[in-house]
Structure 1
């Protein structure tokens, strides 16, 4: 890891994930080889991967939302409106597609799209790689989210402050997202 390592409870960065999931090399990890922050969070969905996949591909600003706290996302101008149904107009996603992150955020480019298995985005500035991985788990699915983030643009005290706010804040939002996808996929399966 680059820079100063802050000691944080691993649960902030590994909520719901098994030790094997945290330690695994996942598709997309290679796009940001030496990140400052890595989070691996997961949830078990009582539905098959094909029931989870449509919720992932429609995610995004001005699309299906992020299934988090829309009001918080929209404080940052992200235009998130979490859908409660599959939106056919957002089911076609291809490698290379770029999805905006609000009006002023970096675009998120689809780097890996392996239907019903893996969806990986990389920010236009290359500082963030976000992957979603579906693994069959009995009759259900393990939904694993991996974030790899570089803080190279945040030197000194800004880096420490960013980590102190973003690590726990990302847990709150991502936990809600994973549970939101779980709820939707189980309901529609």
Structure 2
């Protein structure tokens, strides 16, 4: 008789446990809430298009050409106009390569261009890492544009406060001295 009481008691305890777990109130899962839009400003700009070295002993003045050992583009994000907004950017250059006999376009991305109050020119992107003979009358045209941030819980809009300085064209080789 004692064994029967123990077995019935265990069955009742198990039944109460199963019912309490089965019919327990499940907590409500938080739903993805979209927070209001965030508008940021930035001021990306092309500061310079330059080479590591220019041929100074190669006289190309009588020809419609200039030589660059590589093509590097300097990009900055103006701190005063950006309000501290860090952005990703796409950099594109176009030039006429006399060696290839055709127009060439190269596009690269920079995942992060941060504004800096003291040294605004923080990003140098090597666009072409080989010697190039460029048609001088066409020059090298560089352009930078904002890559929109990925969609998330907050809609972020980034606008460039001065798009007029996002494009630059050079018609001769230049070197940056540090």
Q: Same fold judged by TM-score > 0.5? A: no
Task: Find the structure with the greater CA-based Rg.
Answer: 2
TM-score after normalising by structure 2: 0.26
- From the two aligned structures, give the one with the greater helix fraction: 1
- From the two aligned structures, give the one with the greater strand fraction: 2
